[in-house]
Structure 1
Amino acid sequence: MAYCPRCNTYTEHSVSIYHQGKRRELAEGQRRYNRKLKGYGSSPKPKQKRFAKVNKKISLVLTCSKCGYKLHKSLGRMKRVELV
């Protein structure tokens, strides 16, 4: 049970883990980055040698069973998540 702002009541929600969508090649930022990579020379930004963070932030998507409204809830950093 979770609160749905559209239904304005507590309803059953289905839970799934959020995954990023595919990157768009024609997005303005991607075109700018590709333009920067073009030509002679190396990468425009230095390659990161050591990583401070080892875990990814996990985000859940709660979907209302009545109206289909989707809520995003952040769980924070963890190595592995299992939905049972």
Structure 2
Amino acid sequence: MKFPKVVNAYCPRCNAYTEHTVSIYSHGKRRNLAEGQRRYLRKLKGYGSSRKPKQKRFAKTTKVVVLKLQCRQCGYVIMKPLGRLKKVELTEVR
């Protein structure tokens, strides 16, 4: 799916339709000091292997694509999920 890099969308902070820059959202790095991550790493230690069994059959072949729209005037960010797509391409505006 092709999506423009700049789109006109509603900004709740500006209370108007403004230009937004579009980028594809990607999650950040995992925090090693978070409680759940520390618990997971603690369970991995010792003679046992991994905490949960390795998955053998993968049913899903795509990931949910989320677009990040950032207002050019105030910098407010809107997340817009597109759903499951094989390929997303950001194109220039003509």
The match for 1:50 is 57
Q: Which moved more, 1:34-43 or 1:52-61?
A: 34-43
CA distance in 1, matches of 2:49, 2:70: 44
1:54 positional shift: 0.3
- Give, as a single letter, the amino acid of the residue that structure 2 aligns with 1:9: A
Relative to the length of structure 1, the TM-score reads: 0.96
Could you tell me the percent identity over the aligned residues?
Answer: 71
1:12 CA displacement: 0.6
Which residue of structure 1 lines up, in the alignment, with residue 5 of structure 2? Answer: none
Report how many aligned residue pairs link the two structures: 84
The runs of 5 or more residues in structure 1 that have no matched partner are none
Q: TM-score scaled to structure 2, two decimals?
A: 0.86
Aligned counterparts of 2:30 and 2:49: Cα–Cα separation in 1 = 23
User: What is the CA RMSD across the aligned residues, in angstroms?
Assistant: 0.7
Aligned position for 1:77 = 84
Summarize deviations over 1:21-76 as a string: whole Å, max 9, x none.
11111111110100111111121101100111000100000000110000000000
Q: Relative to total residues, which structure has the larger strand share, 1 or 2?
A: 2
Matches of 1:24 and 1:44 in 2, distance apart?
18
Partner of 2:27: 20
Task: Provide runs of 4+ in structure 1 moved above 4 Å.
Answer: none
In the alignment, the residues of structure 1 paired with residue 9 and residue 66 of structure 2 have an alpha-carbon distance, to the nearest angstrom, of: 16
